[in-house]
């Protein structure tokens, strides 16, 4: 299977994966179908589907099917069947942020910071626990921009525009009381032992991710400057998602979907550079088995 998935991919193969994704979303929602759930399922599908195009935007997949295949299996294994609207919006906004911030057109990146700020603020409105994404964007601006002050102003302007619009609409609708859920900073708690045990089926995948990071940094000087830059961008993005998961996931394991995209790229690169074919094949099947087992344990509530 590894050799089959290592064949060259192109933009025309993406609809096949999107079709399979649509089938997954429909199957898991067909027994719980109403207007609200249909809207959330539609947002979820759109956000995850855009992720397939992000692979070509970030261009770290060597044009193979492997990251697309892993991404599909991550969605299958981590998608619980129904999501909170906040997670759905976060998946959608993350895809837009990746498309904007990884664009190869320098002018698009420069002019998109107002839109990026608007997206981050909209994400916060629907899911306040995603505030680390604002920190990620600020770090990205400081590390990559020549005019840091100007681009930070554009980013903050986008946030202010959405925040002002939101408060204006709420005031017009006479929602004048303040919801304390918009201050998630005092609601953080570490995972308990039982919550860690529930993640046990994912242990092989987690160990491979750690090995992938070790392998990347041990061969850091051999990589091209472009690869190092894009991989660093991906790692900082992953750290922001991981911070959200550690602080706020608890038993809401659908938060793990936020790591599906970066994990797919990191693991696919690790598999590609493993020394022997049988190790590549075995590792791929371990990842698949790990995700299927996690899906079974959460779906049937075995832990």
Torsion of Cα atoms, 70 then 73 then 78 then 84, to 10°: 90
| pLDDT, tens digit, 9 for 90 and up, residues 110-144 | 778 999 999 999 999 888 889 999 999 999 888 88
Tell whether the model's pLDDT for residue 159 goes beyond 90: yes
Give the lowest-confidence range in 103-107, 150-154, 224-228: 103-107
Going by pLDDT thresholds of 50, 70 and 90, the confidence category of residue 9 is low
Q: What's the pLDDT at 206?
A: 93
Work out the average pLDDT over 56-65: 75
Q: What's the pLDDT at 181?
A: 67
| pLDDT, tens digit, 9 for 90 and up, residues 236-273 | 999 999 999 888 888 788 899 999 999 999 999 888 88
Going by pLDDT thresholds of 50, 70 and 90, the confidence category of residue 11 is low
Judge residue 175's burial from the number of C-beta atoms within 10 Å of its C-beta, 0-12 exposed, 13-18 middle, 19 or more buried: exposed
Query: What are the φ/ψ torsions at residue 82 (nearest 5 degrees)?
Result: -145, 140
Work out the average pLDDT over 204-222: 88
| pTM, to two decimals | 0.88
**Spacing of C-alpha 216 from chain mean position:** 20
Q: What's the pLDDT at 193?
A: 66
Tell whether the model's pLDDT for residue 31 goes beyond 80: no
Tell whether the model's pLDDT for residue 73 goes beyond 70: yes
Work out the average pLDDT over 271-298: 88
User: Closest Cα partner for 294 from 2, 17, 73?
Assistant: 73
Residue pair 98/62 in contact by the 8 Å Cβ criterion: no
What would the DSSP string read from start to end of 32-69? S--HHHHHHHHHHHHHHHHHHHHHHHHT-STTBSHHHH
Distance from C-alpha of 67 to C-alpha of 209, rounded to nearest angstrom: 14
* Between 190 and 41, residue with greater pLDDT: 41
Tell whether the model's pLDDT for residue 17 goes beyond 90: no
Going by pLDDT thresholds of 50, 70 and 90, the confidence category of residue 286 is very high
Tell whether the model's pLDDT for residue 278 goes beyond 90: no
pLDDT averaged over the chain?
83
Going by pLDDT thresholds of 50, 70 and 90, the confidence category of residue 58 is confident
pLDDT above 90 coverage of the chain, percent: 28
Q: What's the pLDDT at 275?
A: 83
């Amino acid at each position: 299977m590894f050799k089959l998935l290592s064949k060259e991919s192109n933009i025309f193969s993406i609809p096949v994966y999107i079709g399979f994704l649509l089938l997954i979303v429909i199957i898991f929602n067909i027994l719980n179908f109403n207007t609200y759930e249909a809207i959330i399922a539609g947002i979820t599908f759109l956000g995850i589907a855009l992720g397939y195009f992000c692979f070509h935007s970030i261009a770290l997949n060597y044009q193979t099917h492997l990251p697309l295949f892993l991404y599909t299996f991550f969605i299958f294994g981590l998608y619980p069947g129904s999501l909170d609207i906040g997670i759905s919006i976060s998946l959608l906004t993350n895809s837009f942020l990746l498309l904007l911030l990884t664009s190869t057109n320098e002018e698009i990146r420069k002019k998109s910071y107002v839109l990026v700020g608007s997206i981050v603020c909209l994400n916060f409105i629907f899911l306040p626990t995603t505030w680390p994404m604002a920190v990620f964007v600020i770090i990205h601006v400081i590390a990559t921009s020549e005019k840091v002050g100007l681009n930070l102003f554009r980013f903050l302007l986008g946030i202010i525009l959405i925040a002002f619009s939101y408060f204006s609409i709420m005031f017009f609708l006479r929602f004048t009381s303040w919801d304390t859920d918009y201050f998630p900073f005092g609601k953080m708690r570490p995972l308990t032992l039982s919550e860690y045990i529930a993640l046990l089926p994912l242990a092989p995948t987690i160990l491979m991710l750690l090995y992938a990071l070790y392998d990347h940094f041990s061969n850091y000087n051999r990589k091209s400057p472009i690869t190092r830059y894009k991989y660093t961008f991906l790692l900082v993005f992953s750290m922001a998602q991981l911070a959200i998961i550690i602080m706020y996931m608890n038993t809401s394991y659908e938060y793990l979907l936020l790591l599906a995209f970066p994990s797919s790229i990191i693991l696919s690169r690790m598999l590609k550079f493993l020394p022997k074919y049988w190790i590549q094949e075995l590792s791929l099947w371990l990842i698949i088995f790990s995700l299927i087992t996690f899906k079974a344990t959460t779906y049937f509530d075995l832990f």
